[in-house]
Structure 1
Protein backbone atom coordinates (compact mmCIF):
# COMPACT_ATOMS: atom_id res chain seq x y z
CA UNK A 1 0.00 0.00 0.00
CA UNK A 2 1.36 3.41 -0.94
CA UNK A 3 0.84 6.13 1.62
CA UNK A 4 1.61 9.67 0.60
CA UNK A 5 1.87 12.47 3.15
CA UNK A 6 -0.20 15.44 2.03
CA UNK A 7 -0.56 19.03 3.16
CA UNK A 8 -4.08 20.28 3.88
CA UNK A 9 -6.13 22.97 5.60
CA UNK A 10 -9.17 22.12 7.69
CA UNK A 11 -12.56 23.03 6.26
CA UNK A 12 -13.35 24.75 9.56
CA UNK A 13 -10.43 27.16 9.04
CA UNK A 14 -11.51 28.26 5.54
CA UNK A 15 -14.35 30.57 6.76
CA UNK A 16 -11.79 32.30 9.01
CA UNK A 17 -9.57 32.83 5.98
CA UNK A 18 -12.44 34.32 3.97
CA UNK A 19 -13.32 36.62 6.87
CA UNK A 20 -9.72 37.84 7.09
CA UNK A 21 -9.76 38.49 3.34
CA UNK A 22 -13.02 40.42 3.54
CA UNK A 23 -11.67 42.59 6.39
CA UNK A 24 -8.37 43.31 4.61
CA UNK A 25 -7.74 46.99 4.02
CA UNK A 26 -6.92 48.19 0.52
CA UNK A 27 -3.17 48.26 -0.02
CA UNK A 28 -2.43 45.51 2.53
CA UNK A 29 -0.81 42.31 1.25
CA UNK A 30 -3.07 39.57 -0.07
CA UNK A 31 -4.03 37.06 2.62
CA UNK A 32 -3.25 33.49 1.60
CA UNK A 33 -3.61 30.07 3.20
CA UNK A 34 -0.36 30.86 5.04
CA UNK A 35 -2.58 32.82 7.47
CA UNK A 36 -4.33 29.65 8.72
CA UNK A 37 -2.83 26.47 10.20
CA UNK A 38 -1.46 23.91 7.78
CA UNK A 39 -1.78 20.23 8.66
CA UNK A 40 0.05 17.20 7.31
CA UNK A 41 -1.41 13.73 7.15
CA UNK A 42 -2.37 10.71 5.09
CA UNK A 43 -5.43 9.76 3.10
CA UNK A 44 -5.85 6.01 3.12
CA UNK A 45 -7.01 5.06 -0.40
CA UNK A 46 -8.49 1.70 0.61
CA UNK A 47 -10.82 3.21 3.20
CA UNK A 48 -14.44 3.55 2.09
CA UNK A 49 -14.72 7.13 3.38
CA UNK A 50 -11.08 8.11 2.70
CA UNK A 51 -10.66 9.52 6.20
CA UNK A 52 -7.55 11.58 6.81
CA UNK A 53 -5.08 10.45 9.44
CA UNK A 54 -3.04 13.06 11.29
CA UNK A 55 0.72 12.68 10.89
CA UNK A 56 1.37 13.13 14.62
CA UNK A 57 -1.05 10.34 15.48
CA UNK A 58 0.53 8.08 12.89
CA UNK A 59 4.05 8.75 14.19
CA UNK A 60 2.87 8.13 17.73
CA UNK A 61 1.48 4.77 16.69
CA UNK A 62 4.67 3.80 14.88
CA UNK A 63 7.01 4.74 17.72
CA UNK A 64 5.02 3.35 20.65
Structure 2
Protein backbone atom coordinates (compact mmCIF):
# COMPACT_ATOMS: atom_id res chain seq x y z
CA UNK A 1 0.00 0.00 0.00
CA UNK A 2 1.47 3.33 -1.06
CA UNK A 3 1.92 6.04 1.53
CA UNK A 4 0.20 9.33 0.68
CA UNK A 5 2.67 12.08 -0.09
CA UNK A 6 2.56 15.68 1.06
CA UNK A 7 1.84 17.45 4.27
CA UNK A 8 -1.20 15.92 6.04
CA UNK A 9 -2.40 19.33 7.22
CA UNK A 10 -2.34 20.70 3.66
CA UNK A 11 -4.17 17.63 2.38
CA UNK A 12 -6.77 18.03 5.15
CA UNK A 13 -7.34 21.70 4.29
CA UNK A 14 -7.66 20.93 0.58
CA UNK A 15 -10.09 18.10 1.27
CA UNK A 16 -12.15 20.11 3.75
CA UNK A 17 -12.47 23.23 1.63
CA UNK A 18 -12.95 21.18 -1.53
CA UNK A 19 -15.86 19.40 0.13
CA UNK A 20 -17.32 22.72 1.33
CA UNK A 21 -17.16 24.16 -2.19
CA UNK A 22 -18.70 20.99 -3.65
CA UNK A 23 -21.58 21.11 -1.16
CA UNK A 24 -22.15 24.79 -1.94
CA UNK A 25 -22.02 24.42 -5.75
CA UNK A 26 -23.59 20.98 -6.30
CA UNK A 27 -27.29 21.88 -5.74
CA UNK A 28 -27.16 24.83 -8.13
CA UNK A 29 -25.29 22.77 -10.69
CA UNK A 30 -27.81 19.93 -10.51
CA UNK A 31 -30.74 22.32 -10.92
CA UNK A 32 -29.04 23.93 -13.92
CA UNK A 33 -28.37 20.55 -15.55
CA UNK A 34 -31.92 19.33 -14.90
CA UNK A 35 -33.45 22.46 -16.39
CA UNK A 36 -31.37 22.20 -19.54
CA UNK A 37 -31.55 18.44 -20.07
CA UNK A 38 -34.82 17.23 -18.52
CA UNK A 39 -36.86 17.90 -21.67
CA UNK A 40 -34.40 16.10 -23.92
CA UNK A 41 -34.08 13.12 -21.60
CA UNK A 42 -37.86 12.81 -21.28
CA UNK A 43 -38.35 13.09 -25.05
CA UNK A 44 -35.70 10.46 -25.68
CA UNK A 45 -37.23 8.06 -23.15
CA UNK A 46 -40.69 8.53 -24.68
CA UNK A 47 -39.29 7.98 -28.17
CA UNK A 48 -37.57 4.76 -27.15
CA UNK A 49 -40.71 3.50 -25.40
CA UNK A 50 -42.86 4.36 -28.42
CA UNK A 51 -40.50 2.62 -30.84
CA UNK A 52 -40.44 -0.46 -28.63
CA UNK A 53 -44.23 -0.49 -28.47
CA UNK A 54 -44.56 -0.11 -32.24
CA UNK A 55 -41.96 -2.81 -32.88
CA UNK A 56 -43.99 -5.22 -30.74
CA UNK A 57 -47.17 -4.44 -32.66
CA UNK A 58 -45.70 -4.91 -36.15
CA UNK A 59 -46.56 -8.23 -37.75
CA UNK A 60 -43.71 -10.71 -38.06
CA UNK A 61 -42.13 -10.94 -41.49
CA UNK A 62 -42.44 -14.25 -43.28
CA UNK A 63 -39.12 -16.04 -43.69
CA UNK A 64 -37.37 -15.35 -46.98
CA UNK A 65 -36.60 -18.23 -49.32
CA UNK A 66 -32.91 -18.31 -50.15
CA UNK A 67 -32.72 -20.67 -53.04
With structure 2 as the length reference, what TM-score do the two structures score? Answer: 0.24
- Give the number of the structure whose alpha-carbon radius of gyration is greater: 2
With structure 1 as the length reference, what TM-score do the two structures score? Answer: 0.25
Q: Which has the higher contact order (CA 8 A, sep 6+)?
A: 1
Whose strand fraction is larger, Structure 1's or Structure 2's? Answer: 1
